[in-house]
């Protein structure tokens, strides 16, 4: 990987961030994880990320508001939504807001890694 | 999420395909639709009836607004002696729908595809007693539920259950199974009942702690849920009663006492007699 791709992961379930971080770092990505949306929000105000992976249903600011904020600040950031409560409405709303992909839980590490790889390829191809 | 839908030409597969499509379209899951045909069809092309059934099932998935939209100019291409894969054009959808046909032993073929795809769960239709069964294989959904390495949803009818009843008897519950239940409860807008199984000494401490943890997990996520205790000797009757109107889930993990309570015969009986769908969680 020529230039390290930065990824922010936001999920209020620590088990999700704990699983994803080492696996993605092993693939050469720079990964920061958050379980509180307010902390993640503060971080995206400090710097931009190439890819953001966010859960939808969380305490405080929900994922839909968070991805809106990410896209407002950095339209080129590719956002991937992960959710344990998928509906057609939330999927449609996510895509209207410009997300790259929508993944329902459970998913295997290989599945999300493949989606991140595609998002990274799109970003690098610009 | 990945779903494997195994289907033949019978009505229970039609219903299972409708339910699997509804679930997959809402969750944007990747799907493999596995068509199954009897070994005595020889090595020639697949039967017109199966081809027609598969096309019907594909229509459930590919409405214009669906993540599987498109799938035109379909053609089944022979891959091996007893396998075919469908090619299609115009797949504008964002998610993957793969259509395959395997000829031969239905259970073996479903398990082979499961090892290849590693789905999060398998969807199969459950025949009503006395009606045609899976390519002559008696109790295929029941056998699959016992042997598959992942969770299995046996669809009995097209209905939104008001309650999802999940029976828990051990302290190891996989994150994947919790998430499958989340999605099912969301899909059906159902409430959730977590049932703990008590032996003569009451509920073991570890199981009680896990039940509370599971209850907290769901209530924190806004799912209407509560717990109930059932004595182990009353469980099979409880499950039979509950399965008349609720979607019933059984955690049959490696450490599960339910595996002992629900002997293979009782599991087969429960799935066979259930009025609604049964989810076997691994």
Asked whether A104 and B29 are in contact (CB, 8 A), the reply is yes
**Minimal Cβ distance to A106: which of B65, B94, B179:** B179
Contact residues on chain A for B1, CB-CB shorter than 8 A: 103-107, 111
Task: Return the domain boundaries, chain B.
Answer: 2-155, 163-281
Domain boundaries, chain A: 6-86+102-124
- Considering only CB atoms, B186 lies closest to which of A87, A101, A106, namely A87
CATH of span B163-281 = 3.40.50.620
Mind telling me how many Å the CA of B156 is from chain A's nearest CA? 23
A106 neighbourhood in chain B, CB within 8 Å:
1, 120, 175-176, 179-180
- Report how far apart, in Å, the C-alpha atoms of A7 and of each of A25, A51, B220 are: 10, 5, 27
B176 touches chain A (CB under 8 A): yes
Tell which B residues from 37 to 76 touch A, by Cβ distance under 8 Å: 65, 67
Tell me which chain A residues have a C-beta less than 8 angstroms from the C-beta of B221: 57, 84-85
Contact A107 B120 (CB under 8 A): yes
* pTM recorded for the entire structure: 0.90
- Please check the confidence at residue B257 and state whether its pLDDT lies above 60: no
Strand (E) or helix (H) holding A116: helix A109-124
Q: How many other C-beta atoms are found inside a 10 Å radius of the C-beta of residue A124? A: 12
Q: Which CATH number fits domain A6-86+102-124: 3.30.470.10, 1.10.760.10, 3.30.470.20, 3.40.50.2300?
A: 3.40.50.2300
Helix axes B11-27, A88-96, angle to 10 degrees: 40
Instruction: State the number of CA atoms in the 13 A half-sphere of B238 facing the CB.
Output: 21
Residue pair A103/A16 in contact (Cβ under 8 Å)? The answer is no
Alpha carbon distance, N-terminus to C-terminus of chain B: 15
Please state the ipTM of this predicted complex.
0.86
Residues of chain A contacting residue B187, judged by C-beta atoms under 8 Å apart: 87
Q: Give me the CATH code for the B2-155 domain, please.
A: 3.40.50.620
> Is residue B12 pLDDT above 90, yes or no?
yes
pLDDT in tens, chain A (126 residues): 568 999 999 999 898 999 999 999 999 999 999 999 999 999 999 999 999 999 998 878 889 999 999 999 999 999 999 999 999 999 999 999 999 999 999 999 999 999 999 999 999 987
**Torsion from C-alpha of B168, B169, B175, B178, nearest 10 degrees:** 0
CA–CA dist B169, A56 (Å, integer) = 31
Q: Same CATH fold, B163-281 and B2-155?
A: yes
Q: What are phi and psi of B193, to 5 degrees?
A: -120, 120
DSSP for residue B250: E
């Amino acid at each position: 990987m020529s230039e390290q791709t930065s990824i922010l992961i936001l999920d209020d379930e620590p088990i999700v961030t704990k699983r994803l971080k080492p696996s993605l770092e092993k693939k050469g990505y720079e990964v920061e994880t958050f379980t509180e949306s307010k902390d993640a929000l503060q971080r995206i105000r400090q710097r931009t990320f190439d890819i953001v992976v966010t859960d939808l249903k969380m305490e405080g600011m929900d994922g839909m508001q968070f991805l809106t904020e990410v896209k407002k600040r950095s339209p080129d950031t590719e956002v991937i939504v992960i959710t344990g409560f998928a509906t057609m409405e939330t999927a449609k709303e996510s895509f209207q807001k410009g997300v790259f992909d929508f993944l329902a839980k459970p998913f295997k590490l290989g599945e999300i890694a493949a989606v991140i790889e595609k998002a990274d390829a799109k970003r690098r191809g610009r | 999420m990945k779903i494997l839908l195994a289907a033949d030409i019978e009505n229970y597969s039609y219903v299972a395909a409708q339910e699997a499509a509804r679930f997959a379209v809402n969750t944007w899951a990747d799907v493999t639709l596995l068509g199954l045909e009897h070994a005595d069809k020889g090595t020639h092309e697949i039967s017109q009836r199966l081809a027609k059934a598969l096309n019907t099932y594909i229509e459930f998935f590919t409405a214009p607004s669906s993540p599987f939209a498109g799938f035109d100019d379909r053609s089944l291409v022979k891959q091996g002696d007893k396998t075919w894969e469908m090619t299609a054009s115009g797949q504008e959808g964002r998610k993957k729908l793969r259509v395959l046909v395997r000829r031969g032993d239905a259970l073996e073929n479903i398990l082979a595809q499961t090892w290849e795809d590693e789905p999060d769960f398998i969807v199969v239709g459950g025949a009503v007693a006395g009606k045609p069964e899976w390519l002559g294989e008696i109790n295929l959904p029941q056998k699959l539920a016992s042997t598959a390495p992942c969770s299995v949803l046996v669809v009995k009818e097209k209905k939104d259950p008001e309650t999802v009843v999940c029976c828990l008897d051990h302290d190891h519950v996989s994150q994947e199974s919790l998430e499958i239940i989340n999605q099912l409860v969301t899909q059906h807008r159902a409430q959730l009942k977590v049932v703990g199984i008590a032996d003569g000494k009451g509920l073991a401490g570890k199981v009680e702690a896990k039940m509370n943890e599971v209850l907290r997990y769901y209530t924190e996520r806004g799912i209407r849920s509560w717990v109930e205790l059932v004595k182990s000797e009353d469980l099979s009757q409880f499950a039979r009663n509950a399965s008349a109107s609720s979607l019933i889930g059984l955690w049959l993990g490696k450490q599960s006492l339910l595996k002992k309570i629900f002997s293979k015969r009782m599991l087969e009986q429960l799935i066979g007699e259930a009025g609604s769908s049964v989810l076997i969680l691994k």
